[in-house]
Every structure is written in C-alpha cells, then in structure tokens.
Amino acid sequence: MNSKGPGSPHPSPAHGGLLPQGHLQPLQAVLFDMDGTLVETEQYWGEAMCDLARELGGSMSPAARERTVGTSMRVAMGVLYADLGVRRDEVDLQGDVRWVEDRTAELMAAGGIDWRPGARALLAAVRDAGVATALVTTTPRRLAAPVLQRITGDLGGNPFDVTVCGDEAPARKPDPAPYLQAMAALGVEAGGCLVIEDSQVGIAAGLAAGATVLGVPSLQRMQPLPGLVVRHGLVGLTAGQLGDLLRVEAGGAGQ
Ligand SMILES: [Mg+2]
C-alpha cells in the first residue's frame, strides 16, 4: 500500500513510540508460506486437480478450486469428490493424492517456477536485516525440494534457517502445528513472528500459532481478522515495514 522503497532495514522507533511500551514487539522471525506466497506454483496444484477431475469423468468448479487453495491434499480431495459427486474409498484417495502430486511435479518441471512479484527482493531484504526466516509449507518435501533448489540458486544460498514441509509436521494448516514447530526450531516467541500467507487456511494456522499474519491474496479472498494485515502484494515491502506491521498489530491499532 504505502511503499517507502528499499533502504530502511529496520523499523523506526518513532512509529512504535505512539504505542504502549509493553506492547512493543521486535521482529524476531518471518515465516513464509511457499505456494502462492513466494512462488507461482499454486496454479499447478489447481491444474493437476482439474486433470484428476477429468480422469474421474467430471470437471472441477471454480468455487471448489478456490476452496482447495492452501489446504492439505486430504481436504482438497474431499472438496473435489463432493464437487463431482463421486465416492472414493481410502485406497482410492491415497492413489488420487499421489496422482495429483506427481502431476503437479510434472507441470512444475515443464512450466518452471516463478517468484511471486516482490517475493525474491523481500526474502533477500529480511535476510540482509538479520531477521530469522522459515519456510512453512503444506507441500511434501519431495515436491518442495525443486522449489527450494530454485530459491537457493536465485539467492546464492539457502535463505531459510528452518524449513517445515507438510510431511514433517504432526498436523497440516489450519492447525498451528507447522508454525509452532518452525518457531520452536528457530527458538523464537510467537509474539515476535510475522507469518506471510496467501490462503485462508494458512492465515488461520499463523493466527492460531500466535503470530501476526500478513495476508497477500493470490487465488483466494480474505476476510478481516484480528492479527491479520492484508496487502495486495509484496512489491516494495522492506524488512523495516514488516517490523512495523508487528508493532501496529501488537499495539491494537489495526491497519
Ligand atoms: Mg499458499
């Protein structure tokens, strides 16, 4: 919204000075979602789901597609089956999940992995500011690996202190478990964390973990929630501005 441009690595105390002293929260860590937040891979998941719908003799409605954004594969399959009006047992479901994951990997390999606008610069800026970082994704490790490889290559090294994939946490978003696991691994408090997400389930997970959440919509609409700041994109955001978001939310001033 109000881009100040690059070059202000840390939040100005003048802003926080308007808030009660006890509520000031220094930014300890930024926890990034992957698909649809850092990289333009969410559409591959959608395309693979639509391909599976065709395999099952139907077509997925846009509304159903929107409801699957950011969800676990088990939840996404439930949405798809209901949309198509088909019944599938547990064995079918596991086969369908594997099919969609493999198809997504194919589409990613063929179509390439692009950054979301502003994401690469923001991630680099957070690193340069000395703030801890984590990648927290519902995508399983085998599918996240090529994305991580791309990110690492572009930034000249792995920019994440911690990575938590969907098959490495005891529960999936909207459960807070993946974010809590990342915070514990980083050794940071939730009150000092900013989560960046593009989906409703991801936002719910971040808020339930106690973090402030920056919501950047890609394929899904967002409703206002306490602790959630919604922006149209990441372009022009600085690490200092992320720290300001945390202070404003902690002070109860809203955005
Ligand atoms: Mg996402």
How confident is the model at residue 2, as a pLDDT? 38
Each residue's pLDDT tens digit, 52-76: 999 999 999 999 999 999 999 999 9
**Residue type, position 21, single letter:** Q
- C-alpha 138 to ligand 1 mean position (Å): 8
- C-alpha 37 to ligand 1 mean position (Å): 5
Residue 72 sits in the same domain as residue 129 = no
The CATH number of residue 90's host domain is 1.10.150
Give the chain's residues under pLDDT 50.
1-23, 252-255
The answer to the question of residue 8 being in a domain is no
How confident is the model at residue 16, as a pLDDT? 33
H helix intervals, the chain: 13-16, 42-55, 62-68, 73-84, 90-111, 119-128, 141-155, 177-186, 200-208, 239-250
Can you tell me which residue has the tokens 């920056």?
214
Q: Strand pairing partners for 31?
A: 134, 195
- C-alpha 176 to ligand 1 mean position (Å): 15
Residue 180 sits in the same domain as residue 242 = yes
Residue 161 sits in the same domain as residue 226 = yes
The answer to the question of residue 57 being in a domain is yes
How confident is the model at residue 247, as a pLDDT? 76
- C-alpha 205 to ligand 1 mean position (Å): 12
- C-alpha 112 to ligand 1 mean position (Å): 17
* Residue 227: domain span: 13-40+114-250
Pick the closest to residue 167 from 195, 142, 187, 194 (CA basis): 142
The answer to the question of residue 86 being in a domain is yes
Query: Using alpha carbons only, what angle is made at residue 181 by residues 180 and 187, rounded to the nearest 5 degrees?
Result: 85
The answer to the question of residue 1 being in a domain is no
**Residue type, position 10, single letter:** H
- C-alpha 145 to ligand 1 mean position (Å): 16
How confident is the model at residue 23, as a pLDDT? 46
Pick the closest to residue 25 from 35, 15, 38, 34 (CA basis): 15
Residue 238 sits in the same domain as residue 152 = yes
Q: Strand pairing partners for 164?
A: 136
Q: Give dist(CA 255, CA 248) in Å, integer.
A: 7
How confident is the model at residue 246, as a pLDDT? 87
Contact 162, 186 (CB under 8 A): yes
Counting Cα atoms < 13 Å in the Cβ hemisphere of 155 gives: 22
How confident is the model at residue 255, as a pLDDT? 40
How confident is the model at residue 9, as a pLDDT? 37
